[in-house]
Amino acid sequence: MTALYYGHGTDIGNKSDHNEDCYFADPETGLWLIADGMGGHEAGEVASAIVSETISQAVSDSSSLVEAIQKSHTAVLSASERGIGAKGMGSTVIALKVIPSGYEIAWVGDSRAYLWDGELKQISRDHSYVQKLLDNGTITEEEAITHPNRNIITQSLGADVPQVNVDHVRGQFTPPQKILLCSDGLTDEVLDGEIAVILEQGGDDQTIVNNLISSALMHGGKDNVTVLLVSAPETIAGAETEETESASSVQETDEPQSYDIDKKLFLWSALAIGIIFLVVVFSIIAGD
């Protein structure tokens, strides 16, 4: 038997009057995701909710993460055409599926996934203008942090294209590793080095999530911030032992009960034979 532990949280931030982020967390299906909506009030939050609901339902119906994300893109476009939300609304997504052999992560946009195993490693790769500049060597990592166009993304769900290019990766996931999912409300405010320090300080998953969100708010909190932290599945050793002990206990109680019944039958049989013997003896004596 295995257990999945996780922390989760979202905050409106210090500058916004509504939250366009939406997240889904379900250890039963092993699915976690964050959708960061775009398009303003009554649009961004509509898009992110559609993305979350569509992906969770599709995965529940056995779609792969990539298929589920494509379906959510179509769903946002369809909703916009039917007057739900607003024209031009969209969303990013980062989704994690814990599978028997490890994990699968798929994404569109600049919401991120990190692996923590004593050091922080970014798993996802932003679909952003700044990432393109980094890839072709135009800017450095240090320049990317403060680049004026760092929030321009090159792909989103709901964009006016038939399909999006969904990136995905797979990897091993074993204790004590953790996977961190977050919207850019965290990474725009808190540097990777600071995120690593908070993870290193430890605590349970929920405490770490709370600390990460608090750090984003203290650094300015200019955007909504959403964070999920998932620990690698752990085998609950006690569960198997408990079942074994329980089975043994039943066997130990069953055997004495069976023994007691046999003993009673034997005593009743002996008594009946004794009575018959006495009746026969008395009959012989009376006959004489």
Of 124, 248, 255, residue with least CA distance to 180: 124
pLDDT (tens digit per residue) in 208-221: 999 999 999 999 99
Read off the pTM.
0.81
pLDDT at residue 174, rounded to an integer: 95
H or E element at residue 145: helix 141-146
Q: What is the pLDDT of residue 136?
A: 92
Number of neighbours of residue 263 by Cβ within 10 angstroms: 10
Tens of each residue's pLDDT in the chain, 288 residues: 578 899 999 999 999 999 999 999 999 999 999 999 999 877 999 999 999 999 999 999 999 999 999 999 999 999 999 999 999 999 999 999 999 879 999 999 999 999 999 999 999 999 999 999 999 999 998 898 889 888 899 999 999 999 999 999 999 999 999 999 999 999 999 999 999 999 999 999 999 999 999 999 999 999 999 999 999 998 755 444 333 333 323 233 333 333 333 444 444 444 455 555 554 445 545 555
Q: Residues 114-157: pLDDT tens digits?
A: 999 999 999 999 999 999 999 999 999 889 888 988 889 999 99
